[in-house]
A and B are shown apart, each in its own frame.
Chain A
């Protein structure tokens, strides 16, 4: 663990000095972590590559603003990737205030079916959701943001965020039932 931290420290110093080798080293070190996040917000691999390239350029341009005392480098880079992913989704669909709900619906979904499915099949199901609903579902279920944080990120109310999550669950239930049948 200490050796990894030292490597990242050295890479950070090089990135602060705008050294290409250090920037490449940091990128490759975080490629897997960042790409898995980018994939969740994209429609396909090329979309994910766009998110990655834009996000890492932002990382290197704003590396001086990273404050280790405020959080880990992983969390900082994750936020940049998520923001870039959301920007890509917003480019496809504007996040607007739709119907607001106070409680989120929880339809029954057969978990056994899901367990038998591969990650790419599940990803395909999520990508079929409307863009805004897709973003809210991923942010809530996978990234762990609460509805208040999602509302701040997407500039929507908590009620609208809950509505999108309810819609995502209902749509997934219908798709899984269809697959089960």
Chain B
């Protein structure tokens, strides 16, 4: 502490108790304005210098929107493919490279005149060349719900033993299961006969 004279102590005491002007809010407004310019915040209550939603919120919202749209597009494409696969002719099972085969194995295909038979491999699946008939019983066991036309019969085809370890092919769902039920069109209880034009007999 500095050695002060009596009058200086009086001055000091009075200046420390000087009445303050009522400028608290006005000064805060100036401080806030400067801080919003120099140090903008992410607070929900705070806004940028020009008002409105801060830029960071826009960027975050945009990124989220793009992400959601991408998810929807992927989901939609997957469903579309599933529908396309299910709409193929029921008497053919095409080879699916991605899901069926393991990396180091491939099914052994032996040529035959009528039916190609396969030796089931570990993790493998029977593949039938297009146009060849497959016994209904066997196919229905493997592909329940599959609406099969009348087959011409033919030699049996060996299908993968479920007891074998390895990935099984997920049979595509039947067309009936995937497609939405068709709406009935036209007016009910009306037949083609109703549209026949029958000339009236003229009795006069």
Residues on A lying within 8 angstroms of B by beta carbon are 18-21, 23-24, 27-28, 31-32, 35-36, 39-40, 45, 48-49, 52-53, 56-57, 60-61, 106, 109-111, 114-115, 117-120, 122-123, 126, 138, 140-142, 144-146, 172
Contact = CB atoms under 8 A, between A and B. Distances in A.
Interface string B4-29: 11111011101111111101101110
Contacts of B16: 36, 142
B35 interface: yes
A56 B31 CA distance: 7
Contacts of B26: 49
Contact of B8 (A27, A40, A110, A141): A141
Nearest 3 CB-CB pairings of A with B: A119-B18, A53-B30, A119-B14
B20 to A, nearest CB: 5
Interface residues of chain A: helix, strand, loop or mixed (majority) = helix
B30 A27 contact: no
A123 B15 contact: yes
A106 B46 CA distance: 55
Given A24-B32, A120-B19, A142-B15, A57 B38 contact: yes
Given A19-B43, A20-B45, A142 B23 contact: no
A114 B12 contact: no
A142 B39 contact: no
